[in-house]
């Protein structure tokens, strides 16, 4: 009889352990599911943050272009030339169809006045440090060359 009692005890112990294993497995699965869901949520938040940061960067560029050159948006910028003197100092913004026509020889007119132009569209999609630089430094990034006295030597129209 003792052997039956011992077998019954062992069977009960096995059942209890199987029950504990089943409960712990369910708890582990719930934790894995929660972790997966949280990982997806974190990924979504990171993507949202990236979009906001990119939007902020784009807003900073738009604000910079409006403040410095009077250009309201990228579309407007595509039809503008930024005019500089021979020392890389900003002079004015010329808008196609308003300040000059497509058929005008803009380069000739500017050279008569010792001025040089660059398409405003070149100012978009630059690194943040570009917008913090002065105009001559920005122009150097756009293939303009200045001599020792700061006077323009060469420009890439």
pLDDT tens track for 99-130: 877 667 788 888 888 899 999 999 887 887 88
Element (H, E) at 84: strand 80-85
pLDDT tens track for 33-49: 889 888 888 888 887 88
Contacts of 87 (CB under 8 A, 6+ apart): 136, 146, 150, 151, 152
What is the pTM (predicted TM-score) of this model? 0.64
């Amino acid at each position: 009889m003792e052997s039956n009692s011992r077998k019954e005890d062992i069977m009960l112990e096995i059942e209890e352990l199987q029950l504990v294993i089943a409960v712990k497995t369910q708890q582990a699965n719930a934790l894995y599911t929660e972790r997966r869901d949280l990982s997806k949520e974190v990924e979504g938040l990171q993507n949202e943050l990236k979009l906001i940061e990119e939007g902020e960067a784009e807003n900073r560029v738009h604000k910079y272009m409006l403040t410095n050159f009077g250009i309201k948006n990228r579309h407007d910028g595509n039809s503008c030339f930024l005019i500089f003197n021979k020392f890389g100092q900003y002079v004015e913004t010329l808008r196609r169809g308003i300040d000059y026509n497509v058929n005008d020889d803009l380069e000739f007119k500017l050279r008569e006045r010792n001025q040089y132009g660059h398409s405003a569209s070149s100012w978009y999609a630059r690194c943040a440090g570009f917008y913090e630089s002065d105009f001559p430094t920005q122009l150097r990034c756009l293939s303009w060359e200045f001599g020792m006295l700061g006077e323009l030597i060469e420009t890439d129209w």
